[in-house]
Structure 1
Amino acid sequence: MAIAREEVQHIAHLARLSLTEEETAKFTGQLGDILDYVAQLQELDGELGDVAPMARPIDTANVVRPDGLSPFAAREVLLNGAPEREGDFFRVPQILA
Structure 2
Amino acid sequence: MATLDDILAEFTGALVERYGERLDRLVCCGSVARGEAGPESDVDLALVLKGEVRPSGEIDLLVDLLAEFNLRYGVLISLLPVGRETWEKAPGPFWRNVRRQGRDL
Q: Fold conserved (TM > 0.5)?
A: no
Q: Which has the higher helix share?
A: 2
Q: Which has the higher contact order (CA 8 A, sep 6+)?
A: 2
TM-score (ref. length: structure 2): 0.20
Please identify the structure whose Cα radius of gyration is greater.
1
TM-score (ref. length: structure 1): 0.21
Q: Which has the higher strand share?
A: 2
